């Protein structure tokens, strides 16, 4: 069941391969001579457990429910096999233990993907904002973007002193909560996991020189949104395996905000966008007229800076990105 979810619902190639390989390895262990007679000893009619139903079965309302229920079944079954094998086929017991721990890891990655997909479902455009010239200008920008329907902000400004960065982060969080108290837009802090923790931001985006994804998770807690940037397929897979909720991939194009020595190959963008279940954001020089090319590669989300924040009307620019992505996603669905 887990394999079916990650394969047909998530379209996640690495997780599908992990689940499929585990299933095949289990079959190999069960085919060993010491266990091959088990089917002949099965007694369905005499089994006192047949027909018994749990008093409180876990409801199946969402994909995450399917994952939780079936991961529990798999680990419980493997633990039972491990313990029983210690008596009847001791040489196989350690194999069941190893398989059980592999299920734990697949469950962690699948649940992370399910949670991230749900939480970021409406956040197709992440706007990267700096601190502006003053707090009033910053508040005007954030208000315009919230009005336009932006559901995710990344506060990225390496020039601000920490106290000013904290003040800007708090202002963005307060504006998002006032706009939608029940479901505020996500405010993500770039680099500074400490600032994100201090102000209660939704999460943080970490780079190669910042805290690792697992350490950022330890600081911010299990509910935080942790993002990271990947520059090749191997790095993307490793970052997802480490527990990232979303990936930024690029740089895609020349940018007015940041200079790049090289740009991401299109094969890399296509591979990562189509093989992983966690949300993927194209970054670097994203403009409205470049969305078609990105969506054709399988990308459905973008992180935008100058094309929105330097526009004459940032709100209108952001709304244009959101609408264009939605239209293209429908066309290439």
Per-residue pLDDT of the chain (333 residues; tens, 9 = 90+): 999 999 999 999 999 999 999 999 999 999 998 888 887 888 888 888 887 777 766 778 888 899 999 999 999 999 999 999 999 999 999 999 999 999 999 999 999 999 999 999 999 999 999 999 999 999 999 999 999 999 999 999 999 999 999 999 999 999 999 999 999 999 999 999 999 999 999 999 998 888 999 999 999 999 999 999 999 999 999 999 999 999 999 899 877 666 666 789 999 999 999 999 999 999 999 999 999 999 999 999 999 999 999 999 999 999 999 999 999 988 876
Range of the domain at 99: 2-117
Tokens of 42: 């099965």
Tokens 């991961």 appear where? Answer: 71
Tokens 């721990």 appear where? Answer: 101
- Give pLDDT, residue 190: 97
Q: How far apart are CA 306 and CA 128, in angstroms?
A: 8
Q: How far apart are CA 4 and CA 311, in angstroms?
A: 44
- Give pLDDT, residue 120: 97
- Give pLDDT, residue 259: 61
Instruction: Among 117, 152, 177, give the residue marking a domain's end.
Output: 117
Q: How far apart are the first and last CA of the chain?
A: 25
| 248 touches 269 (CB < 8 A) | no
Same domain, 112 and 217: no
Instruction: Show the 3-state SS of 261-275.
Output: CCCCCHHHHHHHHHH
Same domain, 36 and 167: no
Same domain, 235 and 140: yes
Same domain, 219 and 314: yes
Beta-carbon contacts of 179 under 8 Å, excluding residues fewer than 6 positions away, are 146, 185
Same domain, 175 and 268: yes
- Give pLDDT, residue 239: 95
- Give pLDDT, residue 257: 62
- Give pLDDT, residue 205: 98
Tokens 């505020």 appear where? Answer: 184
Instruction: Among 66, 86, 117, give the residue marking a domain's end.
Output: 117
Same domain, 104 and 137: no
Same domain, 193 and 289: yes
Q: Where are the beta strands (DSSP E) in the chain?
A: 125-129, 152-155, 186-190, 203-206, 225-230, 246-249, 280-282, 301-304
- Give pLDDT, residue 256: 65
- Give pLDDT, residue 43: 83
Same domain, 244 and 324: yes
The structural domain count of the chain equals: 2
Which one, of 279, 276, 286, 222, lies nearest residue 250 by Cα? 286
Same domain, 127 and 228: yes
- Three-class SS of residue 314? helix
Q: How far apart are CA 220 and CA 215, in angstroms?
A: 9
- Give pLDDT, residue 48: 87
Same domain, 169 and 272: yes
Same domain, 174 and 266: yes
| Strand-pair partners of 154 | 128, 188
For residues 64, 66, 69 and 74, what is the CA-based torsion angle, rounded to 10 degrees?
A: -110
Q: How far apart are CA 329 and CA 85, in angstroms?
A: 51
Instruction: Among 93, 117, 141, give the residue marking a domain's end.
Output: 117
Rounded to a whole number of angstroms, the CA Rg of the chain reads 24
């Amino acid at each position: 069941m887990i394999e079916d979810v990650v394969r047909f619902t998530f379209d996640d190639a690495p997780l599908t391969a992990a689940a499929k390989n585990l299933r095949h390895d289990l079959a190999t262990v069960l085919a060993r001579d010491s266990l091959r007679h088990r089917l002949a000893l099965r007694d369905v009619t005499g089994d006192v457990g047949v027909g018994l139903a749990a008093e409180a079965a876990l409801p199946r309302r969402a994909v995450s429910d399917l994952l939780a229920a079936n991961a529990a079944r798999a680990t419980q079954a493997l633990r039972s096999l491990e313990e029983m094998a210690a008596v009847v086929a001791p040489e196989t017991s350690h194999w069941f233990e190893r398989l059980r721990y592999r299920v734990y890891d697949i469950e962690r990655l699948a649940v992370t993907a399910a949670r991230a997909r749900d939480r970021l479902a409406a956040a197709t455009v992440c706007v990267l904002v700096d601190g502006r010239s003053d707090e009033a200008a910053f508040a005007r920008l954030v208000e315009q973007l919230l009005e336009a329907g932006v559901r995710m902000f990344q506060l990225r400004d390496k020039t601000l002193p920490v106290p000013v960065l904290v003040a800007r982060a708090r202002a963005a969080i307060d504006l998002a909560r006032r706009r939608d108290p029940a479901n505020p837009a996500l405010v993500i802090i770039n680099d500074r996991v400490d600032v994100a923790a201090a102000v209660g931001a939704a999460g943080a985006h970490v780079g190669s020189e910042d805290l690792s994804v697992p350490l950022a998770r330890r600081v911010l807690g299990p509910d935080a949104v942790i993002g990271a940037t990947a520059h090749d397929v191997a790095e993307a897979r490793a970052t997802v395996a480490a527990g990232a909720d979303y990936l930024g991939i690029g740089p895609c194009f020349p940018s007015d905000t940041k200079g790049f020595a090289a740009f991401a190959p299109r094969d890399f963008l296509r591979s990562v966008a189509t093989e992983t279940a966690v949300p993927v954001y194209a970054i670097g020089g994203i403009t409205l007229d470049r969305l078609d090319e990105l969506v054709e590669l399988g990308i459905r989300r973008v992180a935008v800076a100058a094309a929105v924040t330097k526009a004459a009307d940032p709100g209108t620019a952001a709304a244009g990105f959101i609408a264009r992505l939605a239209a293209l996603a429908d066309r290439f669905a």
